[in-house]
A and B are shown apart, each in its own frame.
Chain A
Amino acid sequence: MWTEKYRPRTLHEIVNQKEIIERLERFVKEKSMPNCLFAGPPGTGKTTAALCLAMDLFGKNYHKNYLELNASDERGIDVVRTTVKDFARTISMAEAPFKILVLDEADNMTPDAQQALRRTMEMYTNTCRFILACNYFSKIIEPIQSRCAFFRFAPLKPEDVKARVRHICGAENVEITPSGLEALIYVGGGDLRRVVNMLQSAAAVGEKIDEKGIYRIAGRVSPKELREMLEKALDGDFNAARNDTVKLMVEYGLSGLDIVKQVHRELLGLELDERAKLQLIEVVGEAEYRLLEGGSDEVQMNAVLAKIAMIGRSSKERGH
C-alpha cells in the first residue's frame, strides 16, 4: 500500500505539524521525553510521528524497544495488566535510554483500562515512555491527561496535501489533472491516509486521474458488506440487511456507532431521490444520537434498518 510505502521514516520528512515536530526532534537530541498524548483527527500523522520518533531515537533496531498496541483491538483491562506491564517493566535493549509504548486509538479504551494504566505509567518511568494517540482527547480520563505532555495535531493544510500527492504521483509515474487534484483534496479533507488510499485506487482504475474518477471512488467509502447492507435495507429486505450488520460487527469489529457513521458517509452518493436522502439523513442522525445516549448497538441498528426499509419503499412508490 502506498500509505506504507510513502510513510515518512524520520521526523524530518514529516511535512506538516511543524511545531510538534520541532519539539519531538528536541526529545531525540536530548534523549529524554515525557509521556505524551497525541490528539487530532484521523490521518494527521499521529501514529507516523510516534513511529518516526522511535526510529530517530533508537535507529535501525527500533522495534526492539517499541511496541504499538491498538486500543480498539486490545483495549481491555487485562491487556493493560499483562501486555503493557510486561513490556513496560523490562529494561530497554542496546543504547536506548527507555522504551516507547504507543497506545493507538486510546480513546477506545474502557475507562477501567485507563484507570489501570494510571499507576502503570508512573511505576515504570525509569524504563518506559507512553504515547497515547486519540481522536478525541476528552475521552481520555483526566488523571491520564495530567500525566502527559499534550500535542494537538491539526488537519493537514491543502498545500501540504497537494505537495505530498504530487510527490507520490511523480514517484509512481501517475498523472493527475489539476481538477482531479482539487477534487481529491476536497473529498479527502485533511486526512492524508484517506487521500493516499483514494489516490492509489484511482490510479488502479484509470491511466489518468481526473475529477470524475475521484468522485466515483469517493462514492465508495465503505466495505462491500456495508454497501450491500444498505442496498438490501433500501430494497426492503430487512432480515438480510440485519444479517449483514451482524457480520460487520463480528468480522470487522465495528460498533453500531461506526456503522451508522459509515452509512452517513455513503448517503449522499446513493442513487435515490433527493427527498429520500433527506429523510435518511434525519434517520441516521437520530440513530447516532440515540447510540450516544446509551442505546445498544443491536437494537438501534435494527431500528435504523427498519426505517431505511420504509424510506426505500416510499421512495420507490414515488418513482413509479
Chain B
Amino acid sequence: MSLPWAERFKPKTLQEIAGNYAAAEQLLNWIKARIEGRGAVKRAALLSGPPGTGKTLSVGIVARALDLELIEMNASDFRTEELVNKMAGGATLQASLFGRSGKLVFFDELDGISGREDRGGLGAILGILKETRYPVVLAVNDPWDPRFRPLRDICEMIQFRRIRRPSVEVQLKRIARLANVTVDDALIKRVAERAGGDLRAAINDLQMLAEGQRILRDGDVGLLAGRVQEKGIFDVMRDVFSAEGCLEAKLALEGSSVDSEMVLQWINENIPNQYTDPEERAEAYDWFSKADIFMGRVKRRQMWDLMGYAMELATGGAALARRGPYRFTRYNFPRRIGMLSQSKELRGRKREVLKAIGREAHASVKKVATEYLPYMEIMAEKGKLPKGILSWAEDNKET
C-alpha cells in the first residue's frame, strides 16, 4: 500500500470539497480579488479551524484552479526570521520561474511556530504580508491565540468548521467504494462519530480498520482507540457552564490546550452572560472570587500546587450556580483589555485634569478623586466652584 487514503483519494476540484465548500469558495474569491487588485481587499487571508477540516487541501485546490505556483512553509520547516525572508521573501519579489500566471504564498500550521527556535519568524511573516505583491495565505487552528492578534486585523478571516457527521459519512462511503472495500453502514456511522468533525482522522481510521480486509463489519470498530479532540475555548465554556457536578466541570478543561489563566479570564467574562438571574450570578461570582484568591497565592508565592483548588472552585462554582437547566449562551471574548484601549484618550484627559488639581492640592490623583472630587461636585452644582478649577468642571460635564 503506497499513499495514505487521505492523500490518495484527495478531492481534485473545489466542488468535491466536503463540508467547508463555502470557506474554500471564499478563499478562491479573495485570491481572485487580490490578484486583480480590487479596492478594499485585505493583504492576506487567515484560514482557521480544527485539524482535518480542509484548510491545506483548499489552498492546494485553489492554487491549481487559478494556475498559481504554490510556495509553502509549514511547521516542519524552521521558520526563523532569516529563513522566512530567504525562502518566502525572495519568492515574493521574483516572478514565477515556471511560467505560471502567478504565485501563492502559504504559511501552514502557524500554531506550531515557536517563540525560541523560530525567533522573529512571525514578525518576518508580517513584514512579507505588508510588502509582497502576491497573495499570502496563513493557516492556524486557534485564531484567538494572542500571538496572532496583529494578523487578525490585516487578514481576511476565513473560518473552517468541523465537518458535520452526514458529510463525513458520505466521504467515507465514497472512499470505501474507490478502495474497493465493503463496509457496513453501522461501522461508517461509528467511525464518523468518533472523528468528531475531523475528516482526515475519519479516513485514517477507516484505512486502519480496512488494512488487509475486504469486508468490514460493525464489530471491527473495537480496534480503534478513541481520539482526544482539541477543544476550542467556546466548547470549554459550554462544557463548564453545563456541567452537572464538580468533576464534570473540571473535566471540561481536558482535551483543550487553552491555558488555565485564559480559562479563568473567560469564565470571569462570561458569568454575567450565562447567568442573568441575580442569585445565580452572585453565587457563580462568589465561588469565582474564592478561586481568585487561590490564584493570587499561586502567583505571589509560587505555590503551583494550589492551582488545582483555584480551577476546581472556578469551574465547579460556574456550573453549580445554575438553578435550572443549562441555557444556550453566546460566550464573549474577555473584554477588559479592549475596553481600556477604547477609553484611553478620555482617560488621558481626565487624568491630566485630576493631576493638575493634585499638584495644587499636594495630593495624588487617587486622593483628588476620593477626597476632593465629591465636594467639588457639590460646589459645582451650586455654581460655587472656586475659579481656578471651574474650567475643569465644564470639561468633566461633557464627558
Q: Which residues of A are in contact with B by a Cβ distance under 8 Å?
A: 1, 3-4, 42, 47-48, 51, 68, 70-73, 104-105, 108, 193-194, 197-198, 200-201, 203-205, 217, 220-224, 236, 238-239, 242-243, 246-248, 250-254, 258, 262, 287, 290, 293-296, 298-300, 302-304, 306-307, 309-310, 312-313
Report the separation of the CA atoms of residues A307 and B362 in the bound assembly, to the nearest whole angstrom: 37
Q: Which chain A residue has the least Cβ–Cβ distance from B336? A: A298
Produce 1/0 per residue, B366-393, CB < 8 A to A.
1101111111111100101110010000
Q: Which residues of A contact B292 (CB under 8 A)?
A: 290, 295-296, 299-300, 303
When distances are taken between beta carbons in the complex, the residues of chain B under 8 Å from A306 are: 271-272, 278, 281-282, 284-286
Closest to B384 in A: A204
**B372–A251 touching, CB < 8 Å:** no
A-side interface mostly = helix
In the complex, the answer to whether A252 meets B354 with C-beta atoms within 8 Å is yes
The answer, among B282, B296, B372, for a CB contact under 8 Å with A294, is B296
Would you call A198 and B358 a contact (CB within 8 A)?
no
Report A227 CB to chain B, min CB distance, Å.
Answer: 9
Residues of chain A within 8 A (CB-CB) of B350 are: 251
Query: Which residue of B is nearest A305, CB measured?
Result: B285
Given contacts A217-B378, A307-B282, contact A254 B366 (CB under 8 A): yes
Q: Which of B295, B362, B379 has the most CB of A within 10 A?
A: B362
Q: Is B347 an interface residue (CB 8 A)?
A: yes
Contacts of B355 in A (CB 8 A): 73
Q: Shortest beta-carbon distance, A167 to chain B, in Å?
A: 18
Chain B interface residues toward A at CB < 8 A: 268, 271-272, 278-279, 281-282, 284-286, 288-290, 292-293, 295-297, 300, 336, 339-340, 343, 346-347, 350-351, 354-355, 358, 360-367, 369-379, 382, 384-386, 389
B366 touches A72 (CB 8 A): yes
Q: How far is it, in angstroms, between the C-alpha of A222 and the C-alpha of B272 when the chains are bound?
A: 26
Nearest to B359 among chain A residues (CB) is: A68
A47 with B362, Cβ < 8 A, contacts A236-B278, A306-B278 known: yes
Closest to B296 in A: A294
How many angstroms between the C-alpha atoms of A204 and B293 in the bound complex?
Answer: 45
Could you count the A-B residue pairs with CB atoms below 8 Å apart for me: how many are there? 174
A4 to B377, CA, bound (A): 17
- Chain A residues near B364 (CB-CB < 8 A): 70-73, 104-105, 108, 253
Q: Cβ of B362 and Cβ of A310 under 8 Å apart?
A: no
Chain B residues, CB < 8 A from A105? 364, 366-367
Q: In the complex, what residues of B have CB within 8 A of residue A201's CB?
A: 375-376, 378-379
Is A73's CB under 8 angstroms from B365's CB? yes
Expressed in whole angstroms, the minimum distance between the Cβ of A289 and any Cβ of chain B is 10
A303 touches B272 (CB 8 A): no
Interface CB pairs A-B, < 8 A, 30: A1-B360, A3-B361, A4-B361, A70-B358, A73-B366, A104-B364, A204-B382, A205-B382, A217-B375, A220-B374, A248-B369, A250-B340, A250-B347, A251-B354, A252-B354, A252-B370, A258-B366, A262-B370, A290-B290, A290-B293, A294-B293, A295-B292, A300-B289, A300-B292, A302-B268, A302-B271, A302-B272, A303-B282, A303-B289, A309-B282
- CB-CB nearest in chain A for B351: A251
Q: Is the CB of B336 within 8 A of A258?
A: no
